[in-house]
């Protein structure tokens, strides 16, 4: 019994101890949990503090970057409807508008009209979510302009839509103004050079050459070129034609072309000065050899060369002689439709030190035509990516000279047919066409630019031919007035005119009448069959022109053939 009591007491002690241990462990667990919570709280607070510090640093950095950006760049922000939300001080200063004048207004109100294409590209890029880079001309409040290098990009919202557009720009006004000034200087230089080109290098030769009709065309690939053409009359029935091409482009080539052209004139003068009185004309080979000898050292020093063709047309001897120096081959077109090339006999001037040149000759028939061109024509690239080539040029030309019996009409029809907008020119183009009118003809021919400034020359030509034909002064004045009406109608109302293509006038006189043909490339014109009722309130546009033309002429025809218009006016000569 005593032993059982003892065991019971120990059991109670053990149970109590266990209970106490559970209490202690529970307390320790709670304390540990509390410590963990406190530690986590402190860690979270520290992390929050660290994040706040980093945020403040980022904000400070962004503020510094914005300050730097505002100091250097022009910054604006617009919403999705193009309304200006933000404009920095730089934009205020450069545009001249106040912030109140800018904010809340549409950005397109301040765009320059000259930038319509750029703004269209900008809108398309931003609409597709792309960044746009480019240069823009902007409008100032005082009506002036400034230029910026601009970058615009869209800012997207959480749903992927455009929320805003941000534009950052750099002022490049000074740079653009400098570029504009330089370009204007270059344009002035090219304009002066172009005038030199037209008056010295490729100037139109004398309108009246005994027994020959001549027309030529020049198109510079860089505004001014080294191609040149010259015509030298060596008596009534002998004409020398020179066509050349200097290596290179631009002003240096033009200067060298002018020097070459000048050297030919100097050489001819020297050769004539050293021959006996009444001696034979110097042959083309002698002329070209002397020029080659004089120029080759200078050309080699300049690392340049000149290709050329020197052609003599001798009507007395019925002979064509030529010297070819690496130039595009000239072409002799026969009346039967065939043709003979005039090949080169030596390389360009400035290549070889030897100066003796060869010369070739062919008989010249009454209806032969001579065509000269530079390689800029044959090297032009067509829509198929291939060069036009000599075969296409020759085939087209042979057809056109049969269709159009005057040199201007044939030459510019060739130009219109081959050098259209889809053809790429990589070099200067020069062409010349020489025709012989019918034997013993009294026809006279004149070329005029299709511009109102040509009226004075037109009137003089028509008046002189009319009086020479035997018209009275009153009739000649009326015929002159009719020709002016025809010409002004072409200038003001002509359709499909070919740029830089001149107008051609042929005067034909018989004992009974004078016939004037006014020829130009362009769309067909069909006049009214009957005289229109004249409206005095609309003078001079009320039909008076056609009335004057019909009233001053015995007969008038308006003709069109293969892109060429001809107004044929006739006036009877009273006995």
Task: Tell me the Ramachandran region of residue 525: left when phi exceeds 0, alpha when psi lies from -120 to 50, beta otherwise.
Answer: beta
Please check whether residue 116 lies inside any domain of the structure.
Answer: yes
Do 331 and 379 share a domain, yes or no?
Answer: yes
229 within 8 A of 428, measured Cβ to Cβ: no
206 within 8 A of 447, measured Cβ to Cβ: no
Do 430 and 461 share a domain, yes or no?
Answer: no
Residue 496: CB atoms within 10 A of its CB come to 13
Do 147 and 77 share a domain, yes or no?
Answer: yes
Q: In whole angstroms, what is the distance from residue 91 CA to residue 393 CA?
A: 59
Q: What is the pLDDT of residue 541?
A: 47
- List Cβ neighbours of 548 (8 Å cut-off, separation of 6 or more): 481, 482, 485
- List Cβ neighbours of 553 (8 Å cut-off, separation of 6 or more): 479, 482, 569, 570, 571
- List Cβ neighbours of 507 (8 Å cut-off, separation of 6 or more): 443, 444, 445, 446, 461, 462, 465, 469, 514, 515, 516, 517
Do 378 and 291 share a domain, yes or no?
Answer: yes
Which CATH number belongs to the domain containing residue 132 in this structure? 3.30.450.20
Residue 70: CB atoms within 10 A of its CB come to 14
Q: What is the pLDDT of residue 539?
A: 44
Q: What is the pLDDT of residue 2?
A: 46
Residue 349: CB atoms within 10 A of its CB come to 27
Q: What angle do CA 58, 61, 67 make, to 5 degrees?
A: 140
Do 217 and 134 share a domain, yes or no?
Answer: no
Q: How many residues does the chain have?
A: 575
Q: In whole angstroms, what is the distance from residue 242 CA to residue 264 CA?
A: 9
- CA-to-CA separations, 506 to 287, 409, 421, 520, in angstroms, rounded: 34, 12, 30, 12
DSSP state letters, 367-416: T-EEEEE-HHHHT-B-TTSSB-HHHHHHHHHHHHHHH--SHHHHHHHHHH
Indicate the number of domains in the chain: 4
Q: What is the pLDDT of residue 188?
A: 81
Q: What is the pLDDT of residue 64?
A: 59
Q: In whole angstroms, what is the distance from residue 172 CA to residue 187 CA?
A: 22
- 3-class SS at 83? strand
- List Cβ neighbours of 104 (8 Å cut-off, separation of 6 or more): 83, 84
Do 300 and 380 share a domain, yes or no?
Answer: yes
The number of C-alpha atoms within 13 Å of 1 and in the hemisphere containing its C-beta is: 0
Sign, CA dihedral 109-110-116-121, equals negative
List, for residues 208-249, the tens digit of each pLDDT value: 677 899 999 988 776 677 788 889 988 888 999 999 999 877
Q: In whole angstroms, what is the distance from residue 281 CA to residue 67 CA?
A: 84
Please check whether residue 5 lies inside any domain of the structure.
Answer: no
Do 368 and 244 share a domain, yes or no?
Answer: yes
pTM exceeds 0.85 for this model = no
Please check whether residue 11 lies inside any domain of the structure.
Answer: no
Q: In whole angstroms, what is the distance from residue 436 CA to residue 370 CA?
A: 9
Do 229 and 206 share a domain, yes or no?
Answer: yes
Residue that is last in its domain, among 389, 416, 440: 440
Q: What is the pLDDT of residue 15?
A: 61
Residue that is last in its domain, among 411, 440, 469: 440
Please check whether residue 184 lies inside any domain of the structure.
Answer: no
Which CATH number belongs to the domain containing residue 257 in this structure? 3.60.40.10
Peptide bond between residue 540 and the one before it cis (omega within 30 degrees of 0): yes
Please check whether residue 475 lies inside any domain of the structure.
Answer: yes
Residue that is last in its domain, among 409, 440, 471: 440
Angle between helices 544-552 and 473-493 (to 10 degrees): 140
Cα 513 to chain centroid distance, Å, stands at 46
Q: In whole angstroms, what is the distance from residue 478 CA to residue 509 CA?
A: 17
559 within 8 A of 568, measured Cβ to Cβ: yes
Do 239 and 368 share a domain, yes or no?
Answer: yes
- CA-to-CA separations, 357 to 260, 271, 284, 550, in angstroms, rounded: 17, 16, 9, 58
Please check whether residue 39 lies inside any domain of the structure.
Answer: yes
> Which domain does 421 fall in, by range?
198-440
- List Cβ neighbours of 559 (8 Å cut-off, separation of 6 or more): 565, 566, 567, 568
Do 41 and 122 share a domain, yes or no?
Answer: no
Do 145 and 287 share a domain, yes or no?
Answer: no
Binned average pLDDT, 10 residues per bin, the chain of 575 residues: 53 64 66 71 72 63 57 82 88 89 85 76 78 86 88 81 84 87 81 68 64 88 78 89 87 83 91 76 94 93 93 94 96 91 94 89 93 93 91 94 94 94 88 84 88 94 94 93 93 92 93 94 81 50 72 92 94 83
Pick from 236, 233, 254, 232: which is nearest to 245 by CA? Answer: 254
Do 63 and 90 share a domain, yes or no?
Answer: no
Which CATH number belongs to the domain containing residue 534 in this structure? 3.30.565.10
Q: In whole angstroms, what is the distance from residue 275 CA to residue 288 CA?
A: 17
Please check whether residue 187 lies inside any domain of the structure.
Answer: no
390 within 8 A of 379, measured Cβ to Cβ: no
- List Cβ neighbours of 135 (8 Å cut-off, separation of 6 or more): 118, 147, 148, 149, 150, 172, 176
Pick from 389, 493, 369: which is nearest to 432 by CA? Answer: 369
Please check whether residue 181 lies inside any domain of the structure.
Answer: no
């Amino acid at each position: 019994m005593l032993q059982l009591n003892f065991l019971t007491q120990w059991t109670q002690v053990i149970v109590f101890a266990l209970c106490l241990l559970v209490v202690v462990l529970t307390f320790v667990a709670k304390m540990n949990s509390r410590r963990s919570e406190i530690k986590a709280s402190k860690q979270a607070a520290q992390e929050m503090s660290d994040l706040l510090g980093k945020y403040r640093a980022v904000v400070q950095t962004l503020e510094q970057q914005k300050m730097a950006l505002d100091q250097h760049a022009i910054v604006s922000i617009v919403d999705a409807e193009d309304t200006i939300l933000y404009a920095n001080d730089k934009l205020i200063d450069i545009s001249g508008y106040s912030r109140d004048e800018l904010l809340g207004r549409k950005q397109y109100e301040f765009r320059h009209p000259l930038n319509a294409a750029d703004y269209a590209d900008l809108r398309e890029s931003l609409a597709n979510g792309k960044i746009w880079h480019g240069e823009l001309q902007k409008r100032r409040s005082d009506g002036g302009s400034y230029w910026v290098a601009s970058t615009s990009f869209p800012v997207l919202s959480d749903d992927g839509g455009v929320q805003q557009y941000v534009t950052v720009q750099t002022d490049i006004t000074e740079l653009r103004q400098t570029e504009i000034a330089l370009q204007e200087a270059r344009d002035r230089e090219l304009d002066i050079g172009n005038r030199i080109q037209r008056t010295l290098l490729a100037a139109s030769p004398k309108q009246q050459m005994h027994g020959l009709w001549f027309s030529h065309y020049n198109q510079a690939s860089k505004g001014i070129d080294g191609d040149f053409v010259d015509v030298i009359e060596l008596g009534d029935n002998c004409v020398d034609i020179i066509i050349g091409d200097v290596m290179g482009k631009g002003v240096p080539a033009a200067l060298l072309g002018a020097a070459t052209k000048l050297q030919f004139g100097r050489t001819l003068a020297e050769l004539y000065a050293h021959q006996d009185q009444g001696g034979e004309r110097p042959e083309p080979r002698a002329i070209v050899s002397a020029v080659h000898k004089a120029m080759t050292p200078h050309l080699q020093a300049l690392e340049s060369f000149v290709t050329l063709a020197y052609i003599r047309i001798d009507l007395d001897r019925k002979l064509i002689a030529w010297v070819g120096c690496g130039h595009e081959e000239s072409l002799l077109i026969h009346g039967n439709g065939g043709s003979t090339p005039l090949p080169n006999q030596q390389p360009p001037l400035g290549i070889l030190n030897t100066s003796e040149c060869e010369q070739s000759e062919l008989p010249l028939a009454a209806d032969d035509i001579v065509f000269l061109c530079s390689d800029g024509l044959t090297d032009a690239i067509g829509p198929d990516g291939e060069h036009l080539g000599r075969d296409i040029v020759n085939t087209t030309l042979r057809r056109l000279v049969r269709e159009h019996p005057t040199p201007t009409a044939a030459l510019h029809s060739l130009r219109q047919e081959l050098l259209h907008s889809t053809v790429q020119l990589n070099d200067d183009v020069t062409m010349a066409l020489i025709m012989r009118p019918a034997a013993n003809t009294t026809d006279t021919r004149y070329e005029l630019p299709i511009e109102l400034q040509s009226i004075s020359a037109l009137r003089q030509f028509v008046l002189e031919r009319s009086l020479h034909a035997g018209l009275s002064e009153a009739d000649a004045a009326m015929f002159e007035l009719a020709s002016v009406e025809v010409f002004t109608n072409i200038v003001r109302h002509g359709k499909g005119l070919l740029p830089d293509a001149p107008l051609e006038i042929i005067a034909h006189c018989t004992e009974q009448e004078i016939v004037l043909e006014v020829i130009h490339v362009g769309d067909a014109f069909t006049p009214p069959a009957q005289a229109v009722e004249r409206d005095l309130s609309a003078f001079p546009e009320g039909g008076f022109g056609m009335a004057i033309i019909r009233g001053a002429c015995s007969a008038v025809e308006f003709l069109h053939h293969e892109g060429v218009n001809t107004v044929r006016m006739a006036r009877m000569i009273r006995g």
